[in-house]
Amino acid sequence: MRVPISWLREFVALPADAEAIADRLAMLGFPVAEIVKRPPIAGVVTGRIVALERHPNADRLLVARVDVADGEPLTIATAATNVASGQTIAVATVGAQLPELKIERRTMRGVVSHGMMISAGELALPEEWFEDGIMQFDGATPLGADAVEMFGLSDDVIDVEITSNRPDAMSVIGLARELAASYGMALRLPSFVNPGVQAEPAGEAPQVVLESRDCYRFVAQRFDDVRVAPAPAWMRVRLALAGQRPINNLVDVSNYVMLETGQPLHFYDASAIHGGKLIVRDAIDGETIETLDGVDRTLSPLALVIADDRRPLCLAGLMGGVVSEVAATTSAIVLEAANFNGARVRRMSSALNLRTEASARHEKWLAPALTDIGAARAAQLLHELGATPYRPHAFGEPVAPSQPILLRVDEVERLLGLAVPADRVERHLAALGCGVTPARGDDLSVTPPAWRRDLTSTADLIEEVARIEGYESIPAVVPTVAPHEISSEAFARERQVAHALAALGYREVITHSLHGAALFDRTAPTGLSPAATAVEVRNPLSEEQRYLRDSLVPGMLEYFSANHEPVRIFEIGEIFRADKDGIVEQTSLAFGFSAERSGEPKWHDSAFLRIKGDCEALLRELTGRRVETEAASDAGFHPGKCARLSIDGVAIGTFGAVDPRLAKSFDAERSAYACVLNVAALPPYRTPHYRPPSKFPSTYRDVALIVDARVGARAIERAVAAVLGPLCTGVRVFDEYRGPQVEEPFDSAQGGRKSLAVRIILQRFDKTITDEEADAAVAVVLDAVREQFGATIRT
């Protein structure tokens, strides 16, 4: 919200430094996004053209005599075409400083010019928003006045960010009240007494029917003797500084009151209301309205409209329609100051892709009391412009009085850690508009002002005291935090893992441990992060921080998506899940890389072999043991490019290509490969011991076993090694076959059985092994695999 500091000064005596004002607003909870610096302007006064004639030596120049109430009128030559005798204009006298020009006495074709008539652009105002040529003021403007001071042209403009719970602060008065309370200064407010007291002529009283319950209060007021003309110069300049284009006196009054009080208004041409009745209702599906921006809009019942008995005249809380627009011939208007359901206005705005200054306020749930304040202020301004106001009529719910809240002053110190005397607490709250009366002891009974819907509890009031007292006054105390320790052994293991991965070329990253519900939609297709086991934070700071992560993989994918070049990263962090025993916290390790683009055939995947090699190298470094891998199908990984890691038969992790659907949901440009390990499951490092080789020769036997297709090669190798013990110095499955010779008829779709060729190496350390011993060992193996796997010998 753009706010000219000169407008704020009308209500509170602020310091001259814009930066100090911006800092104070930030401390109050309203950060200033930008300070728009005004250029230096001096020596500009108001003057009136008392005579105007053609230049004697130039056809395109005029010579004017301009009265600036300081001695003789000034002689000024000009090439402007929009000047006439009797106009009140801005005059830069000799010596004046404009943004890009210093005014000096000069001779124009033989006539000495003692100054310059200036345009809006030369006052650093948007020139296209004002007259095409010399800027003109209304006749009531005093002559010889300093125009820069009169219109606040030297004060900077601040762009203030307003939080969604403070719609009352989306107004100049709202911010002025905050600053007055903070600085301990008096707040000077205009009167909000509506000048309309007389009844309308017979049959001309505004009639309003509230068919929708989403309009809570509607104030309607009729004005006669309206004359459409430019608004007073002070209003046009103030609106322009606030970023609003001046249109005419009626439109400008409605915009001015909205910016000043926070209550949006709308004016209807009274002659355009068919039947003299305004109806607030849901839109009829398919009906249309041409809005003031010149767009024909087709409506659905989602829209809330204000209509007469024929057609919609206005999108409630959003924008008016052309059919009831104020025109140059308008002589009577009906003012609307209404209060609507904020969520309804927001949904309508989104559906129509139309957002306005009015909707930005309505969608934040304005207080109903603002309707009467806005109507009264507009009535005052219109009355000053010559309109005849009639009495206002209110429809809908009456403004409910605010309920008092008991504030125990000792709670202030308990919650803030800062002792604030009761009299200062009372002063701070009263400055914000609260009604404060003593209760028992030092306690106070506080009635929030009608425009503050966010003050509903003691904690809300104490927060207001903290804001006005100043957050910097609260002593910095280190809070008591429950100890969260990590054992030296676990810390050493994590550092060992980090150094080992760094040696393999990976870089450590830290990703967010909190996420929002949107992550479930992105990961659900692959079965990762199921919402049923998610751990929800009881009081999240935002919707994007509602859940604790249960995997490190999404954070890695976000990192890959943010980097267009291939990267190799790892993270050691905590993951969480909920089960029947409560919340389970586990230290997890995830590492991986985004692959280079290559021209490899689809059946070849060197990146998968690289991640496999890195997994085995890491685990050998960490455990000194043999790593076993077998095909797997885990959530989040490619169904055909995934394997499980185990050591001594204990599963410790999974690696493979990230499921392409998951990578695509994170907008990752490259294929991703990852490994996920349970750090706690890693066995301790086992120092290898030297074993002297046998001095006697070995022998081997090859056997072909027919087993169920689901039996893995590694399971066969383990079974053979276990049954033979030290006699077996090596076992390896070196071939697999599936086809009609194994199963008749062969059906690959059903799985069935397969043939595994196994080589068994036999050797003794005390003597040479004999064929009889080798054959006996093979017979033992066949009995064992037959019993364990139902295996048979392939013939």
Question: Residue 597: which pLDDT band, with cuts at 50, 70 and 90?
Answer: low
Looking at 709-752, which runs of residues are DSSP E strands? Answer: 728-737
Q: Is the pLDDT of residue 744 over 60?
A: no
Q: Is the pLDDT of residue 664 over 90?
A: no
* Mean pLDDT across the chain: 90
Which domain CATH number covers 443? 3.30.56.10
Q: Are 509 and 570 in contact (CB under 8 A)?
A: yes
Which domain CATH number covers 368? 3.50.40.10
Q: How many domains does the chain have?
A: 6
Question: Residue 600: which pLDDT band, with cuts at 50, 70 and 90?
Answer: low
Q: Is the pLDDT of residue 358 over 50?
A: yes
Question: Residue 601: which pLDDT band, with cuts at 50, 70 and 90?
Answer: low
Same domain, 226 and 137: no
Same domain, 506 and 587: yes
Q: Is residue 456 situated within a structural domain?
A: yes
Query: Which DSSP symbol is given to 131?
Result: -
Same domain, 145 and 14: no
Query: Which DSSP symbol is given to 214?
Result: T
Q: Is residue 8 situated within a structural domain?
A: yes
Same domain, 228 and 373: yes
Q: Is residue 689 situated within a structural domain?
A: no
Q: What is the pLDDT of residue 746?
A: 47
Map residue 514 onto helix, strand or coil: strand
Q: Is the pLDDT of residue 107 over 50?
A: yes
CA 131: distance to chain centroid? Answer: 39
Which domain CATH number covers 107? 2.40.50.140
pLDDT digits 0-9 by tens, 392-402: 999 998 999 99
Same domain, 467 and 593: no
Length of the chain: 795
Same domain, 721 and 782: yes
- List the structure tokens of 193: 């007494």
Same domain, 416 and 546: no
Q: What is the pLDDT of residue 602?
A: 60
**611: amino acid identity, one letter:** I
Q: What is the mean pLDDT of residues 374-403?
A: 95
Q: Is residue 350 situated within a structural domain?
A: yes
Q: Is residue 282 situated within a structural domain?
A: yes
Same domain, 511 and 446: no
Q: Is residue 770 situated within a structural domain?
A: yes
Write down which residue in 396, 415, 449 finishes a domain: 396
Question: Residue 633: which pLDDT band, with cuts at 50, 70 and 90?
Answer: confident
**6: amino acid identity, one letter:** S
- Pick from 93-102, 734-743, 747-756: least confident: 747-756
Q: Is the pLDDT of residue 258 over 90?
A: yes
Write down which residue in 150, 173, 195 finishes a domain: 150
Q: What is the pLDDT of residue 604?
A: 66
Q: Is the pLDDT of residue 504 over 50?
A: yes
CA–CA distances in Å: residue 129 to residues 158, 228, 234, 243: 20, 17, 14, 10
% of the chain beyond a pLDDT of 90: 66
**Residue among 317, 309, 217 nearest 266 (CA):** 317
Which domain CATH number covers 582? 3.30.930.10
* Domain around 454: 405-473
| Rounded to 5°, angle at Cα 776 from 772 and 782 | 145
**Residue among 40, 41, 77, 74 nearest 62 (CA):** 77
CA–CA distances in Å: residue 344 to residues 348, 349, 350, 364: 6, 9, 10, 11
Q: Are 161 and 31 in contact (CB under 8 A)?
A: yes
Q: What is the pLDDT of residue 487?
A: 81
Q: What is the mean pLDDT of residues 403-425?
A: 91
The pTM score is 0.66
Same domain, 783 and 709: yes
Write down which residue in 396, 430, 448 finishes a domain: 396
Q: Is residue 33 situated within a structural domain?
A: yes
Q: How many helices (H) and strands (E) does the chain have?
A: 19, 41
CA–CA distances in Å: residue 742 to residues 387, 402, 704, 712, 736: 102, 86, 11, 17, 11
Same domain, 615 and 643: yes
Q: What is the mean pLDDT of residues 611-625?
A: 91
Same domain, 389 and 257: yes
Question: Residue 329: which pLDDT band, with cuts at 50, 70 and 90?
Answer: very high
Q: What is the mean pLDDT of residues 226-249?
A: 94
Q: Is residue 718 situated within a structural domain?
A: yes
Q: Is the pLDDT of residue 219 over 60?
A: yes
Q: Is the pLDDT of residue 417 over 50?
A: yes
> Which residue did the predictor score with more confidence, 50 or 480?
50
Same domain, 713 and 788: yes
Which domain CATH number covers 787? 3.30.70.380
According to the per-residue pLDDT averaged within each range, which of 151-160, 514-523, 593-602 is highest? 151-160
Q: What is the pLDDT of residue 385?
A: 94
H-assigned helices in 592-635 = 606-623
Q: What is the mean pLDDT of residues 624-644?
A: 88
- For residue 395, list its beta bridge partners: 218
CA end-to-end distance (rounded Å), the chain: 87
pLDDT digits 0-9 by tens, 457-498: 999 999 999 999 998 888 888 777 667 677 888 888 899 999
Q: Are 96 and 42 in contact (CB under 8 A)?
A: yes
